[in-house]
A and B are shown apart, each in its own frame.
Chain A
């Protein structure tokens, strides 16, 4: 079965610094990987996805993610963090039958 792991429950970053939110995956076949963000009491917003092609995927709000096949990772990155980036971030993988398998989430705190 497909799965993703987010090893950090929480990440704290100072405003203006680069941020990384980690995700590793375990899949059979080609991985279809996603990042979603959830703001308090809101639904999930799609940030970006990797299907095939370039290993560096650019998404919404200045975020990008790097697909690394040898390390089975799909870390989310942003060069300069904003306080408004504080939210809950989910890595996800598309499973057979089209359902999405989510990681448990990483809470990102951007410190002013």
Chain B
């Protein structure tokens, strides 16, 4: 059973470009979470999605950031018009369909975004 997959692992963008980060949850998991880790800091929650629904986006910046989890295919975190402050590691986690506060979230290897 493959774990959570994220691609690309590393992404370099120039200021003003768009960044698209992809996450495929573990098989059988339909809950996806995105977190951001700034250098030398812990992870900060961004958004929680189920298939075709955004459940909680309280950690998402109000502008330039969006996320989706379509019926088919991976979850996408999209950052428009990137700025240097967006440079960070972005981690995706997934949990099973019966997600509750007792379920464990399993993390992917992350995408490291560098904005030049």
Contact = CB atoms under 8 A, between A and B. Distances in A.
B85 interface: no
Contacts of B105: 46, 100
Contacts, number: 65
A90 B43 contact: yes
A44 B3 CA distance: 12
Given A43-B107, A43-B109, A104-B41, A98 B31 contact: yes
B6 to A, nearest CB: 8
Interface of B: 4, 6, 31, 33, 35, 41-45, 48, 55-56, 58-59, 91, 93, 95, 99-110, 112
A92 B108 CA distance: 17
Interface in A40-59: 41-46, 49, 51
Contact of A49 (B31, B45, B59, B104): B104
Given A45-B107, A90-B42, A99 B102 contact: no
Contacts of A32: 101-102
Contacts of B108: 43
B55 A97 contact: yes
Given A98-B101, A99-B33, A104-B41, A44 B107 contact: yes
11 contacts: A34-B104, A41-B112, A43-B109, A43-B110, A45-B107, A90-B42, A97-B48, A98-B48, A98-B103, A99-B45, A101-B45
Interface residues of A, number: 23
B43 A44 contact: yes
The residue among B48, B56, B107, B112 with the most chain A CB atoms within 10 A of its own CB is B107
B101 A94 contact: yes
Interface in A87-109: 90, 94-95, 97-105
A95 B93 CA distance: 15
Contacts of A101: 45
Contacts of B110: 42-43
A61 B105 CA distance: 18
Leading 7 A-B pairs by shortest Cβ distance: A102-B42, A99-B45, A44-B107, A43-B109, A43-B107, A104-B42, A97-B56
